[in-house]
Amino acid sequence: MATATEIMRPTDTVGWKSGFNTILRVTRLALKSPWMVTISLVSTVIAAGLQLLIPILLGRAVDQTQALVSGAANAEAATAALWTTAWLVLAVWVARGTFTVFQNYFSESVGHNIGYTLRLSYYEKIQRLSFGFHDRVHSGDLITLGMLDLEGVRMFFSTGLVRIVLLSMLIGIGGYLLLSTDLTLGLLALSFVPFVAWRSSVTQLKLRGTWLELQNRLSVLSRVMEENLGGIRVVRAFAAKSHEMEKYDDASENALELAHERVDIRVRNTSMMTFSFLISMGLVLWVGSGKVVSGEITVGTLASFLTFMTILQMPVRQLGMLVNSFARTSTCGERIFALLDLDLAITDKPDAPDLQITDGVLRFEAVGFTYPAAVQPTLQGLSFAARRGETIALIGPPGSGKSTIAHLIPRFYDVTEGAITLDGQDIRDVTLRSVRNAVAVVQQDAFLFTTSLENNIAYGDPWAPPSQIADASASAQLDQFIATLPAGYETVVGERGASLSGGQRQRMTIARALMLRPSVLIFDDSTAAVDAGTERRIRTTIQAKASERVTIIVAHRLNSLMHADRIMFIEQGRIVEQGSHAELLALGGRYKALHDLQIRSEEPAT
C-alpha cells in the first residue's frame, strides 16, 4: 500500500504491470456507460470508413474530368458521372462530419461520466481519511491531484481508446489500399510514417515528463499563493509585500522556464515531422508523374495517393498523442487509485451497533497513544473516569497531550493501547457517526464557512428550528451581537470568518457545538480569544446545563478552569496531579507553581 507522501509525489515511472492494471480499471469505468461507448465506437468506425472513401472518390473525379477534357468519353455521360461523383463526395463529407460529431459528443460524455464517478469517489475518500493522513499531506497537493490528475484520467476514453480505433482503421486500411494499388508508390507514400511515428512518440513522452514537472512547479506556485492569501493580514502587518512578491516571482519564473522548454520541444519536432512528410510527398509526385507519363497509373490514382497521404499525416502524428494518453493515464490513474485504495485508519467494524447513552460515563482505561512516525508516545497508561454532570479540566505544559486526549474521544485518532468507553461501550466497537453525534469538540481553530451565521451555527443540524439556533447563540453570548446586524442571522461571514473578530469566531464554534446537545462536550482551549467577562458569562450559561453531559475543558489560563469539579495536571502523557482547585493549591505541587506564576504576572507592578 502506497504511503501518503508517495501518492502526492509526481512521478513518471510506473511499472508496466501496474500501468496495465490502471488502464484496465479506467476502461472498466468507461464501460459503466455501455450505450454511450457503443455509439461512440460505432460512429468512429463509420467516420473512419467514410474518410477513407474520400481519396478514392476524388481520384475518380480527376480521371472523369481528364476524360471529359480530352474528349475520350461521351461528354454528356462523362458530365453526368462527374456530377454523381461530386454529389457522392459531398454526401460522404456530410455523413463523415455527422458521425464525427456523434463520436466526439459521446466519447466526451463517457469521459465526463468517468470524471463524475472519480470525483465523487475522491471527495468521499478525502472526507473519510483520518486526521493522521491530513496531518501529513498538504491541501494544495490534494487539490492538484483532484483536478489535474483526475482530468488526465477523464480524457483517456476520447484520447486513448477511441483514438486507437480511429488510427488503426486509418493507418491500417489506408496503408493497405496504398500498397495494393501500387507497391512502389505505396512504400514512398508511407516512408514518412516510421519517422513521424518515432518522433511523435519521443516528443510526447518528453512533453509528458516535462508536464509532470510543470505540474509540480504549478503546485508550488499554487501553494505560495494559497498561503499568501490565507495569511494576507500577517503579510500586511509585517510589510512583507516585497518578500512575498519575490517568492511568487521565483516560483512563477520557474514554471515559465519549463513552459518555454515545452514550446521549444513541440515546435522543433513538429518542424522535423512536417519536413519528412513534404519529402515523402515530393518523392511520390516525382515517381508518380513518371508513372503517369508512362501510362502505368492514371492522374486520378496519383491524386488519390496524395490525398491519402494528407489524410494519413494527422493520424500518424497522433500516434505520439496516443502513447502520451496511455502514459498519462497510467501515471495519473496510479496516483488517484492509490489514494482511493488507501485503508481507512478510522472506520466502523462490520455490523457495528450505534452507541447507546444511558448513564453518560466516560472512561479512559490505561490509554496509550503514539502519533504516526513519532518516536515517543504522547499518552502513556492514562486512566480516569468522568460522569454526567461532572466538569473535568486538563492543564499542563505544551505538548503534554491535552489536545490529544480531546481528539481521541470523538475518534479523530484511535488509541494504540487501552480503551476509551462510553457507558461501558468501547468507542471502536460502535458506529463512528453515533460517537460523533454524542461527542462535540470546540476546537482551537475557529473555522467558519462562507455562508450565513445561521448556517454556520446549525452546521451539525441543518434542519434545527430557529428557536434551537437562538438558544445556542444565547448560550455562546452571541445573541446581542447578532441583534446589531442589519441582516441578523442571515448575515454572510467572509472567508474563514474573516469579517468577524477572533472572539466572535470562537463563540460561533461554541454555539455550533451546543446545537448538537452532546453527551460529552469538549472545549479545546476554545475561549482563548474571548475576553474574561464574556468567558465568565459563557461558563455560567454552560454550567447551568452541565448536568446533562460530561464537560471537558482544555486550557492554559487557570481562570478558564478553576471552577471545574476535577482538574488534572498532564505532563508527558501522564496524570501527575488531580483534584479540585483548592485541593491542588493545598498540595503545593506543579499546579500551585503554575497558579502562583499566572497570578503574579497578572498583578500590577509596584
pLDDT digit string (tens) for 365-422?
999 999 877 788 899 889 999 998 898 999 888 888 888 998 999 998 899 999 999 9
Within a domain: 393: yes
| CB 286 within 8 Å of CB 124 | no
Residues 329 and 435 in one domain: no
Within a domain: 522: yes
Within a domain: 277: yes
Residues 368 and 268 in one domain: no
Residues 371 and 323 in one domain: no
Residues 315 and 203 in one domain: yes
DSSP class per residue in 420-471 = EEETTEETTSS-HHHHHHHEEEE-SS----SSBHHHHHTTT-TT--HHHHHH
Domain count along the chain: 2
Within a domain: 3: no
Residues 420 and 367 in one domain: yes
Residues 429 and 308 in one domain: no
Q: Please write the tens of the pLDDT for every residue from 118-160.
A: 989 888 888 888 777 777 776 767 777 777 788 888 888 888 8
Which of 149, 130, 132 lies closest to 141, judged by CA?
A: 149
Q: What long-range pairs does 478-482 form, CB within 8 A, spacing at least 24?
A: 478/504, 478/507, 478/508, 478/511, 481/507, 482/453
Residues 367 and 313 in one domain: no
Residues 327 and 195 in one domain: yes
Its domain, for residue 281, covers 8-219+264-340
Residue 605's pLDDT band, with cuts at 50, 70 and 90, is: very low
Q: Amino acid letter at 171?
A: I
Within a domain: 228: no
Residues 277 and 157 in one domain: yes
Residues 479 and 436 in one domain: yes
Residues 336 and 214 in one domain: yes
- What CATH number has the domain bearing residue 464? 3.40.50.300
Q: Is the dihedral of CA 132, 135, 141, 147 positive or negative?
A: positive
Q: What is the 3-state secondary structure (H, E, C) of 377-401?
A: CCEEEEEEEECCCCEEEEECCCCCC
Most distant CA atoms of the chain, gap in Å: 125
Q: Please write the tens of the pLDDT for every residue from 203-239.
A: 767 776 777 777 778 777 877 777 777 677 777 777 7
What share of the chain has pLDDT > 90, as a percent? 13
| CB 184 within 8 Å of CB 296 | no
Q: Is the pLDDT of residue 310 over 50?
A: yes
- What CATH number has the domain bearing residue 106? 1.20.1560.10
DSSP class per residue in 231-296 = THHHHHHTT-HHHHHHHHHHHHHHHHHHHHHHHHHHHHHHHHHHHHHHHHHHHHHHHHHHHHHHTS
Within a domain: 242: no
Q: Is the pLDDT of residue 3 over 60?
A: no
Within a domain: 196: yes
Residues 117 and 164 in one domain: yes
User: Would you give the DSSP letter of residue 416?
Assistant: S
Within a domain: 237: no
